[in-house]
Amino acid sequence: MSVEVKVPSPGESVSEVEIASWLVADGDYVEKDQEIAEIDSDKATLALPAEESGVIKLIAEEGEAVEVGQVIASIDTDAAAPEGGSSAPKAESKAEEKKEEAPAPKAEAKEESKQSYATGSASPAAKKIIDEKGLDPSQITGTGRDGRITKDDAIKAEASMGTPSNAARPSSTSRMSSLRRKLAQRLVSVKNETAMLTTFNEVNMQPIFDLRKQYKEDFKEKHGVGLGFMSFFTLAVTRALKEFPQVNSMIDGDNLVSFDYADISIAVSGPKGLMVPVLRNAELMSFAGVEKDIKRLATKVRDGKITVDEMTGGTFTITNGGVFGSMLSTPIINPPQSAILGMHNIVERPVAENGQVVIRPVMYVALSYDHRIIDGRESVGFLVAIKEALENPAELLMNNDPKKALEL
């Protein structure tokens, strides 16, 4: 019996995907639930498992765009499983290939022996192009008779960068994944379709350092996760969104949609690129809840098991370039959202406190926002509200009871 392998639906509004790579070859025997392919949608890269065991026949090509529900392979379930492994024939074929390839050096030697006085000399038309482009004829391989440089060789040749060298200068060209192409389109559209501005501020992180130093061991022992910076920033953002609801809005045609809840998108770097899973109803979460959910989602991103549903529907985004050493940046809005908060690295800097210069751990923060719906007063006030909460977390985020807030 032959079982058809169809493209599953990765999520709502996705009608077409791309076969990123086949993980098996045509004619291979596959086991049930074995991952046979990776498919790219506009929003995520997903693994496609085999529904049955048997010999697979590939129908669609790698890199081909296919519709949801389209048959891309079939599995012959009546085929018997191979005994003792099927690698021997492959090994023999590889050995045969090597034998066939062995004479190649001799052929190359013969070609080298064919070089003559004409090798590397340019035709009049080629010489004119070489002079105009400022090329070195010795760096051009001629394809004409006896190695002569033709006009076509001169047109295709490119000037070398820096000092000419005999070292190999390899390059490669590969097709961008569907996810990366969609991301590129969205980034360009943000620049072209929004009135994006960025405002900056700095945060004295010493109060958070002190709280983490005091409670991080007990927190980890109680909840099984570390007390990181993301929980402080997430709760500071949800507090500020209540104070400035305009930031928690987005444009839908001619309408303005405002949200009474805070679904916070957290940018996470994974093997397939930057993913943005969502913390649902973050305004209702505790410090422990935020840290556990971020760890769960980040693990799924890095294992390639994140789903499209877990990355859609956010109302505000937090991105942390500081983990890569970024000191300052202008983050790009994650459409259709209207704002994004950028965190950066923490560096000890001189700070004036009570007329004295002291050294404190300081982080620069950036808020990029869509000026079409968020005015300067709201954007600056929103970022200041975050700064105030982070510099006085015990009072503004923990209601003066850190142990209760941390559930210790």
Give span(s): CATH 4.10.320.10, the chain: 117-160
- What is the model's pLDDT at position 98? 46
Most confident of 19-33, 55-69, 292-306, 340-354: 340-354
Q: How confident is the model at residue 343 (pLDDT cuts 50, 70, 90)?
A: very high
Q: Kindly write down the DSSP assignment for every residue of 153-193, as one continuous string.
A: HHHH--PPSSS--SS-------PPPHHHHHHHHHHHHHHHH
Give span(s): CATH 3.30.559.10, the chain: 179-405
28 phi and psi, to 5 degrees? -70, 150
The pTM (predicted TM-score) of the whole model is 0.65
CATH classification code of 179-405:
3.30.559.10
- What b/e string do you get for 16-55 counting C-beta neighbours within 10 Å, with b at 16 or more? ebbbbebebeeebbbeeeeebbbbbbbbbbbebebbbbbb
Give span(s): CATH 2.40.50.100, the chain: 2-76
> Are 341 and 366 a contacting pair, CB within 8 Å?
yes
Report the C-alpha gap between 353 and 369 in whole angstroms. Answer: 31
User: Higher pLDDT residue, 5 or 182?
Assistant: 5
Most confident of 153-167, 185-199, 200-214: 200-214
Residue reference for tokens 């649902």 = 280
> In the structure encoding, which two tokens stand for residue 270, read together?
């994974």
- What is the model's pLDDT at position 179? 67
Does residue 239 register a pLDDT over 90? Answer: yes
- Enumerate long-range contacts of 125-128, CB under 8 Å, 24 or more apart: 125/151, 125/154, 126/150, 126/151, 126/153, 126/154, 127/154
Mean pLDDT of the chain: 82
In the chain, the amino acid numbered 70 is: Q
- What is the model's pLDDT at position 61? 83
- What is the model's pLDDT at position 142? 80
User: Higher pLDDT residue, 135 or 382?
Assistant: 382
- What is the model's pLDDT at position 39? 79
Does residue 14 register a pLDDT over 80? Answer: no
Give the Å distances, CA to CA, from 152 to 126, 132, 138, 391. Answer: 8, 14, 16, 66
**Among 87-101, 167-181, 327-341, 358-372, which stretch is predicted with the lowest mean pLDDT?**
87-101
Q: What is the 3-state secondary structure (H, E, C) of 348-374?
A: EEEEEECCEEEEEEEEEEEEEEECCCC
Q: Kindly write down the DSSP assignment for every residue of 261-326, as one continuous string.
A: S--EEE-EEETTEEE--EETTGGG--HHHHHHHHHHHHHHHHTT---SGGGS--SEEEEEGGGGT-
Fold of 117-160: Dihydrolipoamide Transferase (4.10.320)
- Provide the CB-side half-sphere exposure for 340 (13 A, CA): 25
- What is the model's pLDDT at position 231? 94
Give the Å distances, CA to CA, from 290 to 141, 263, 379. Answer: 61, 12, 24
- pLDDT digits over 344-369, tens only? 999 999 999 889 999 999 999 999 99
Does residue 402 register a pLDDT over 50? Answer: yes
Q: Give the mean model confidence (pLDDT) for residues 157-176.
A: 64
**Among 73-77, 287-291, 371-375, 383-387, which stretch is predicted with the lowest mean pLDDT?**
73-77
Catalytic residue among 26, 131, 303, 375: 375
Does residue 374 register a pLDDT over 90? Answer: yes
Q: Which residues pair with 351 in a beta bridge?
A: 358
Q: Give the mean model confidence (pLDDT) for residues 29-35.
A: 88
Number of Cβ atoms within 10 Å of the Cβ of 77: 14
**223 tagged catalytic:** no
User: Higher pLDDT residue, 180 or 200?
Assistant: 200
- What is the model's pLDDT at position 304? 77
- pLDDT digits over 71-118, tens only? 888 888 888 877 755 443 443 444 444 445 545 444 444 444 455 555
Query: Would you state the CATH architecture of domain 2-76?
Result: Beta Barrel (2.40)
Report the C-alpha gap between 374 and 369 in whole angstroms. Answer: 7
**263 tagged catalytic:** no
Catalytic residue among 33, 146, 210, 371: 371
User: Higher pLDDT residue, 236 or 194?
Assistant: 236
Give the Å distances, CA to CA, from 217 to 227, 231, 288, 400. Answer: 9, 16, 13, 20
